[in-house]
Amino acid sequence: MSHMTFSKPIVMKFGGTSVEDAQAFERVRGIVRASADAPLVIVVSAMSYVTGALRASVRQAASGDAVAGAQMLDEHFERHTNIARALLTTESPIVEAAIASARLESAELLRSVAAQLRPLSLLQDAIISYGELLSAMLLAAVLREAGLPARYVDARRCIITDESYGCAAPLVEETAHQTCAELLPLLEAVKIPVLGGFIASSKSGETTTLGPNSSDYTAALVGAALSALEIQIWTDVTGVLTADPRVVNTARTIPHLSYAEAVELAYSGAKVLHPMTIQSAREQNIPVRICNSRLPQEAGTLVCAETEISPRTIKAIAHKTGVTIVQVTSARMRGAHGFMRSLFEIFDRHRTSVDIVTTSEVSVSLSLDDASALPAILTELRQLGTVEVENNRASICIIGKGLRGTPGIAACVFDTIRDINITLISQGASSINLTFVIDQAHICEAVARLHESFFASTLEETPPVRVLAAVMN
């Protein structure tokens, strides 16, 4: 491995909305320029709506019509071309030519989809990758136009995965090795590498992707490989907020989160963070900062190892909809060995991960985020006992290290939503979260009320006290 003669780089990741149009590209240029004294690596998502359009074009082609599939992409290739024309001068023809080849190549791949020449999942990843390939190439050119020493890097040469198309798992050692080999020489030459998030390749060189919303994960993998000074996630909100801003418009920025709190939040539905991002940053103690590309001067959220004890008992409320509850009841459970193992093996076999688990003497309740394999799972579960399924549930997760030692929080939570029926409750003894499941129809109201109850006060220090007093009265 190359010897590092320069200081550790900062990895800056820009999400789809941060590169949605020419203005957004200009904002990114300003943000990068302001940090360009330090060594930088840039990771960028596809422009907003592009990944969705690419997926839809694959579906169209899979239904037999490759031409209609390709037509669905026209407006998106044009968006890239328009940005090249608006922001580039000398490089515009080269970039426009690259966009034109991407258009031809993707049309060709869509024909392979329609003709079923290769497995759909493999072709789908190859087609979807054009979103990040183009945004990264375009951003590198836009940065160069402003005199910044940016270099486009094909992320598929850095991030190496297994062959689980659509949601591939990175091979950590190969990825670290390849990332250093590709990026260190550029950093040593004082260049700014610019690579697409989300996309990767298998050892055999096929294009793969890391799963929905995973550009953050790319940033973390690159950051870990290079022992980055910091990973910055630039998005369309000012950091991690006390609740999903689409549900609670008074939600506000949380200045500090521990890795543990951030992981819980990410797994519990706060879309602003990809769970694996925090986990890989945590392994090397790399701080993660979440900032707003529209308001770059605002501090946002800093995620790092635990430092001070937060005065606030509860830091955030996360929620998830589309949750399914499965309850298995069996008299065989009582005192029988291996029951739980056979139960979980069924979910494993169908690659379905279980979120919350609660048990009683003779029954187990589990919550699932992804119920697509449920019909097959149910057939097997029925051999273990009686099975009941509840659809359209939502989970709410209350997070904060202060939950550990503060009595009365659960009482306050359940009192706040006492008229809403709760199906499952989970809180471990040393846990920093309290999770429960309700009917999806009540989710917005429940989250809004809980937020009001825990965060309404504008005085930073007082809310937990005020809330507890209310419970004790």
Asked if residue 240 binds ligand ADP (CB under 6 A), the reply is: yes
Q: How many whole angstroms separate alpha carbon 230 and alpha carbon 4?
A: 17
Bridge-based pairing of strands 256-258 and 301-304 is parallel
> Per CB under 6 A, which region of 80-88, 91-99, 183-191, 266-274 contacts ligand ADP?
266-274
Bridge-based pairing of strands 230-235 and 316-329 is unpaired
Asked if residue 157 binds ligand ADP (CB under 6 A), the reply is: no
With CB cut-offs between 5 and 8 Å by kind, which of ligand ADP, Mg ion, none does residue 245 bind? ligand ADP
Q: What's the token pair of residue 219?
A: 């940033």
Asked if residue 135 binds ligand ADP (CB under 6 A), the reply is: no
3-state secondary structure of 118: coil
Amino acid at residue number 245: P
Asked if residue 199 binds ligand ADP (CB under 6 A), the reply is: no
**Nearest position to Mg ion, beta carbon:** 213
Q: With contacts defined by CB under 6 A, how many residues of the chain interact with ligand ADP?
A: 19
> Per CB under 6 A, which region of 204-212, 243-251, 360-368, 414-422 contacts ligand ADP?
243-251
CB 149 within 8 A of CB 192: yes
Identified binder of ligand ADP from the candidate list 149, 245, 287, 322, rule CB under 6 A: 245
With CB cut-offs between 5 and 8 Å by kind, which of Mg ion, ligand ADP, none does residue 241 bind? ligand ADP
Query: Among 206, 180, 174, which Cα is nearest to 193's?
Result: 180
For residue 128, the minimal CB distance to Mg ion (Å) is: 15
For residue 76, the minimal CB distance to ligand ADP (Å) is: 16
Q: What's the token pair of residue 96?
A: 């426009």
With CB cut-offs between 5 and 8 Å by kind, which of ligand ADP, Mg ion, none does residue 270 bind? ligand ADP
Asked if residue 17 binds ligand ADP (CB under 6 A), the reply is: yes
> Per CB under 6 A, which region of 66-74, 78-86, 186-194, 244-252 contacts ligand ADP?
244-252
Amino acid at residue number 168: A
Asked if residue 262 binds ligand ADP (CB under 6 A), the reply is: no
3-state secondary structure of 169: coil
- Locate tokens 């009001």: which residue? 452
With CB cut-offs between 5 and 8 Å by kind, which of ligand ADP, Mg ion, none does residue 398 bind? none
With CB cut-offs between 5 and 8 Å by kind, which of ligand ADP, Mg ion, none does residue 244 bind? ligand ADP
With CB cut-offs between 5 and 8 Å by kind, which of ligand ADP, Mg ion, none does residue 17 bind? ligand ADP
Asked if residue 118 binds ligand ADP (CB under 6 A), the reply is: no
Asked if residue 272 binds ligand ADP (CB under 6 A), the reply is: yes
For residue 64, the minimal CB distance to ligand ADP (Å) is: 32
For residue 235, the minimal CB distance to Mg ion (Å) is: 7
Identified binder of ligand ADP from the candidate list 33, 118, 203, 246, rule CB under 6 A: 246
For ligand ADP, the closer of residues 246 and 466 by Cβ is: 246
Distant-in-sequence contacts of 372-377, Cβ < 8 A, 24+ apart? 374/324, 374/326, 376/350, 377/326, 377/346, 377/347, 377/350, 377/352
Strands (E) located in 165-315: 192-196, 199-202, 207-209, 230-235, 256-258, 288-292, 301-304
Q: Give the end-to-end CA distance of the chain in Å, rounded to a whole number.
A: 64
Identified binder of ligand ADP from the candidate list 15, 131, 385, 400, rule CB under 6 A: 15
Q: In which element (H, E) is residue 447 found? A: helix 443-455
Instruction: Determine phi and psi for 368, rounding to 5 degrees.
Output: -125, 140
Amino acid at residue number 346: I
CA 203 to chain centre: 24
How many CB atoms sit inside 10 A of residue 335's CB? 7
| Site of interaction with ligand ADP (CB under 6 A) | 15-18, 45, 213, 235-237, 240-241, 243-246, 270-272, 316
